[in-house]
Structure 1
């Protein structure tokens, strides 16, 4: 039951904007249509961007793209639920859709962030990290799955309670556990990132990966942009999760749930910045493509050097074969002319026959000249 402006009691299911006050609706305020449409559009465009990069780069970064697409799909569904509730804020369907989807979305986005850190570690060198690059995903993604399971279970219980107009305390508590675990996981992750940055700074340049591809990656402006975007995304997701814990501490009927301005700032804006930053500095474009181009250039350079070396060996072999036969036509020694030549130069006949081989004490130069 809820009260109308005239003081009459109207069943909640029969409420409309004309009969009941908005503070007695599921949202406890009048929904703003514009921010919800804008954020929904931003997330749809972002999802399309990730899909296009995946298609144009021949399906590179599949797991990262999957996590981002799932998170963005949840964001789009959540804001679609809010838009659907704009006409009637007393219908449970739109409210449940937005609560469940917006609660799940950051878990997928944080999983994508965890996958990106190994690229940063590879670029600067495994020696600077306390754990191998592959273990970042192996440690943090299972923790993220636990967070998602807790939040989905609690969100489902809360949604059922909302639909039945009963207490949501049990579901809220489980959601809080999942959110707290997610914040703790992000804190540990951020701590390892900071530790890696400090160790890289102190050990540089001795511990940097000397591979030409990694040197090219580190020198790339796109890679530096990607590292900054990843840090920004991580902070934004962390701030959003902390706000969500504070917001949920009073339950769905708590005072912060009635602050639409805080929701717009800490929910929509933070997640928008997080996903757009990685749209602009996509890990596949800023790391994989740069590394692949550097490796291709290094391979081409190596092939060119190998070809030059083969040509040099071939010429040297030909010189040795020619010099080895030191007696020219008529028994004349040509070795001195060839050996003084650094490359295989043309030796004219008059030069080749100017030094005849003769027995000791006899000069055959004139006789040879007359014969010719």
Structure 2
């Protein structure tokens, strides 16, 4: 029995028996395509390079994944399209979270490192590493599934992928704990001392009209991605459960969650918030163990609108 026979042993068994909607998946793919173009435009203008790459990869994977579903809606026996959507849609949100981790590092500088349990570089390094471990497990599981020729090998791939999703779920949960404690501390500090409790250097960022919505948007995005991860774990761990037999569930609990999370981040994009800030973060494991008073992110105000292309390159 080859891989194609294994995955298509029953009608539409690639998708556990349910049919795909061409129109719905095409609309979702178009939405992610629009989000990708918008993100690249905003991130390049503000020179948020790490965020540009991580979110760019994440949105690209979502776009490619739903193109795979569009192809499968017309040809359910196309195993390559099935693998394309299964892998890309599974790991795409990991890259979106990676961009969020980097932004949280910036926000600890804007408000002051003393309010954060972790140093800025630790958000970027530790949680991105955890996410890449999750991506590695999910990709390995997907690769085993794509080449499986026996049911036992297929189950092995499923279990490894499930482990990667569960690992991602755990790391996101831990991150949320740190994030909400940080938000509570800056809320209390602002309540007692006002904005004077935070570094004056970044006062203009904190007082911008879009800054508070930006904090809410990040929080909501993390919750939405977490909900999606919970669904994927439940769906993959199912035993012929209902979650896998109706396309409405992945459309609402996966596609819609990531669309809303991406929309939140685009509406108050860091390219708008940090329009005149050049944020540089030292991505180094050694930095994680240096004294807390050492600055991790160096921000300097620049007028990006009035800089030439050559000058912009020199600021990198």
**TM-score of the alignment, normalized to the shorter chain, above 0.5:** yes
Q: Does 1:208 align with 2:197?
A: yes
Per the alignment, residue 229 of structure 1 pairs with 217
- 1:115-161 per-position Cα deviation (integer Å, ceiling 9, x unaligned): 11122222222111112222211211111110110010011111222
Q: With CA pairs under 8 Å and 6+ residues apart, which has the higher RCO, 1 or 2?
A: 2
Secondary structure of the residue that 2:118 maps to in structure 1?
coil
Per the alignment, residue 43 of structure 1 pairs with 32
Q: Does 1:180 align with 2:171?
A: no
Matches within 5 A, 1:250-269: 250=238, 254-269=241-256
Q: Is the CA contact (8 Å cut-off) linking 1:234 and 1:274 kept in structure 2?
A: yes
CA separation in 2, counterparts of 1:126 and 1:229?
21
Tell me by how many angstroms 1:283 deviates.
1.0
Q: 1:97 aligns with which of 56, 68, 84?
A: 84
CA separation in 1, counterparts of 2:140 and 2:100?
24
Structure 2 unmatched runs, 5+: 280-299, 304-316
CA separation in 1, counterparts of 2:155 and 2:242?
15
Q: Is the CA contact (8 Å cut-off) linking 1:217 and 1:291 kept in structure 2?
A: no
Q: Is the CA contact (8 Å cut-off) linking 1:119 and 1:287 kept in structure 2?
A: no
Q: Is the CA contact (8 Å cut-off) linking 1:248 and 1:254 kept in structure 2?
A: no
Per the alignment, residue 111 of structure 1 pairs with 98
Per the alignment, residue 220 of structure 1 pairs with 208
Structure 1 unmatched runs, 5+: 2-10, 298-372
Per the alignment, residue 18 of structure 2 pairs with 29
Give the TM-score normalised by structure 1: 0.68
- 1:236-255 per-position Cα deviation (integer Å, ceiling 9, x unaligned): 1111001000000027x654
Q: Is the CA contact (8 Å cut-off) linking 1:128 and 1:200 kept in structure 2?
A: yes
- 1:62-114 per-position Cα deviation (integer Å, ceiling 9, x unaligned): 01110011111111111111111112212312211111111111111111111
Provide closer, same or farther for how the CA distance between residues 223 and 91 of structure 1 changes in structure 2, counting only shifts above 3 A: same
Per the alignment, residue 64 of structure 1 pairs with 51
CA separation in 2, counterparts of 1:130 and 1:119?
14
Q: 1:197 aligns with which of 164, 179, 183?
A: 183
- 1:219-265 per-position Cα deviation (integer Å, ceiling 9, x unaligned): 111111211111111111111001000000027x6542212111100
Per the alignment, residue 262 of structure 2 pairs with 275
Tell me which moved more, 199-208 or 74-83.
199-208
Per the alignment, residue 141 of structure 1 pairs with 128
Name the larger-Rg structure: 1
CA separation in 1, counterparts of 2:14 and 2:260?
30
Tell me by how many angstroms 1:191 deviates.
0.2
Give the TM-score normalised by structure 2: 0.80
- 1:270-310 per-position Cα deviation (integer Å, ceiling 9, x unaligned): 00111121111111211343799x9579xxxxxxxxxxxxx
Tell me by how many angstroms 1:56 deviates.
2.9
Could you list the runs of 4 or more consecutive aligned residues of structure 1 that deviate by over 4 angstroms after TM superposition? 20-25, 294-297
- 1:178-233 per-position Cα deviation (integer Å, ceiling 9, x unaligned): 1111011101110001111122223335472241x422222111111211111111
Per the alignment, residue 241 of structure 1 pairs with 229
Tell me by how many angstroms 1:166 deviates.
3.6
CA separation in 1, counterparts of 2:37 and 2:249?
28
Give the alignment's Cα RMSD to 1 decimal.
2.7
Q: Is the CA contact (8 Å cut-off) linking 1:223 and 1:287 kept in structure 2?
A: no
Q: Is the CA contact (8 Å cut-off) linking 1:216 and 1:291 kept in structure 2?
A: no
Per the alignment, residue 317 of structure 1 pairs with none
